[in-house]
Structure 1
Amino acid sequence: MALMEISVVPVGTDTESFSSDIQQALSIIEQNGLDYQVTPTSTIIKGDIDKLMDVAQVIHINEMEKSAKRVVTSIKIDDRTDKEMTLDGQRARVSKSER
């Protein structure tokens, strides 16, 4: 299992807000049965690498098919084979190291 951070920014739309875009992306993630966590600037998704890439593509294409004239999608992948990663586990490790 891997973690993928995705941030999608639609450019050239009629509004400065994109909360409805985020809600639609979350719906796509949920339809694919993936765990996720929303952060202030991105969404972290846990899943099989192939499934993560498929979901990222669907989210990006969905934005292109809407009213955006341009879409900037940033993806960061953390893929480990030596141990299981979870969203809560990663967050807990970071919290411990900050103390």
Structure 2
Amino acid sequence: MPLLEISVVPVGTNSESFSGDIERAVAVIEQNGLNYQVTPTSTIVEGDIDKLFDVAQVIHMNEIENNAQRVVTHMKIDDRKDKNITLDRQVNRIKEE
């Protein structure tokens, strides 16, 4: 199952805090029933590739609609076909080593 790492940076807002932006992004992810993990600098989401792109677009557009003057969205996709990857599996493999 593909993993999406997404980080959205709204520019030109009246706040230096990102917590409200993260809460909005997590709400979109949860509404779509996807598994996720928030990290200090990004959010990792697990799901069908089409759903991941749809969710990323909604998260990005929410920032524009929330009056950001500019939005910089960084995305990284890990889509492995020879093995099933999940958030839990990836984290547990590192802990085992």
The 2-side partners of 1:58 and 1:90 are apart by: 26
Identity of aligned residues (%): 68
* 1:11-65 Cα distance to aligned partner (Å, 9 max, x none): 0100000101100100000000100000000000000101000000000001011
**Which residues of 2 match residues 77-96 of structure 1 at below 5 A?**
77-96=77-96
Q: Unaligned 5+ residue runs, structure 1?
A: none
**Which residues of 2 match residues 1-99 of structure 1 at below 5 A?**
1-97=1-97
Q: TM-score, normalised by structure 2?
A: 0.96
Q: TM-score, normalised by structure 1?
A: 0.94
1:84 is displaced (CA, Å) by: 1.2
The 2-side partners of 1:81 and 1:90 are apart by: 15
Q: What CA RMSD, in Å, does the superposition of the two structures yield over aligned residues?
A: 0.8
Q: Unaligned 5+ residue runs, structure 2?
A: none
